[in-house]
Amino acid sequence: MNMWKVSMVCWISVLFLGCGEPPATSTQVDTRVHLYLTDFPVDDAEVTRVLVTFTHIDVYADATQNWITVVDYGSAGRQFDLLTLQGGHAEELGAFDLEPGSYSQIRLHMTPDHVIEVNDGTGVHQFPLKIPSGDETGIKLVGGFTVSGDGPTMLTLDFDARKSIHRNRGQGYMLKPTIKIVEVVTSEFAAKEIHAVQGGEVHLLGKAELRIPPGALAVDTMIEIRKLVLGAPYTQKTGLLSGSVIQLEPSGLVFLTPAQLSVFYDPAQIPAGLRRRI
């Protein structure tokens, strides 16, 4: 299938765009979940490495009201350097299958000992980095996700070491994580927190993408792209071709400089006698 792309530059948010794509008829089930880790840049230039180690990851299934271990690195765990996960970089924590449904929490379990590396001008030094309760109850993320079953689900977690690292006199370095889900991508929905200074991209798999340059947003903003379907009553009333619609949120958002919205469609799905109009 050849997919074409329509791109446009916009100053304000576009509320609805028709894609001319009929609803999918495939019954294939895809329940794969991909979990990624990223980190917002650390302000302290002296910090050269932040090494944290995860042992396993659980999710809470609303249907059964049980915690499910979805990633297990063993007792030794898996170590990540958070400073290598900045500037739009991310590393996969794991991929796993889940039953379709809602999962309201994620819990990250960590080893008790971690390392921070600092260059204070006299040389590079490593110090212990303690995470309260990381190895006991784990770190819970409030905010969940839904597995629809009709396509992969991709989640990105932001560790945000910039806000998490604290140095207390007599106690050394402490890490009190403020981990949150900053991006969710499925076949029907995509949401990503865009930092105003950095800009970024939001992708709805195979449907649309929005590119926001640095400085286009006044403040950090969660941008959503949602796929809707035009029902027969609406298409009969408006004369529009039945298919998908792309909705952007938050409604009324103003870009300070132009952003680029691209919508993908399959020209083979456009009936004979009709032509594309933008």
pLDDT tens column, 37-65:
988 766 667 888 899 999 999 999 999 99
The pLDDT of residue 170 is above 90: no
167 in the same domain as 46: yes
222 in the same domain as 122: no
Q: How many CB atoms lie within 10 A of CB 1?
A: 7
183 in the same domain as 138: yes
Query: Which amino acid is located at 244 in the chain?
Result: S
Alpha-helical segments (H) within 64-178: 161-164
Going 187 to 192 to 194 to 199, the CA torsion angle's sign is negative
99 in the same domain as 233: no
Q: Is 240 inside any structural domain?
A: yes
Nearest residue to 256 via CA among 197, 182, 209, 207 = 197
Of 76-80, 86-90, 163-167, the one with minimum mean pLDDT is 163-167
39 in the same domain as 17: no
44 in the same domain as 15: no
| pLDDT, position 175 | 80
142 in the same domain as 175: yes
The pLDDT of residue 7 is above 90: no
Radius of gyration of the chain (CA): 22
Gap between the Cα atoms of 73 and 195, Å rounded: 31
- Work out the percent of the chain whose per-residue pLDDT is above 90: 29
Q: What is the CATH number of the domain that holds 89?
A: 2.60.40
161 in the same domain as 51: yes
| pLDDT, position 266 | 72
126 in the same domain as 34: yes
257 in the same domain as 177: no
Gap between the Cα atoms of 224 and 85, Å rounded: 23
Output the six-digit token pair for 222.
Answer: 């969660």
Gap between the Cα atoms of 5 and 93, Å rounded: 31
- Are residues 207 and 185 in contact, defined by beta-carbon separation less than 8 angstroms? no
Total count of domains within the chain: 2
Gap between the Cα atoms of 260 and 202, Å rounded: 11
Of 49-58, 63-72, 114-123, the one with minimum mean pLDDT is 114-123
State the average pLDDT over residues 258-277.
Answer: 74
**Full residue range of the structural domain in which residue 142 is found:** 29-187
Q: Is 95 inside any structural domain?
A: yes
152 in the same domain as 245: no
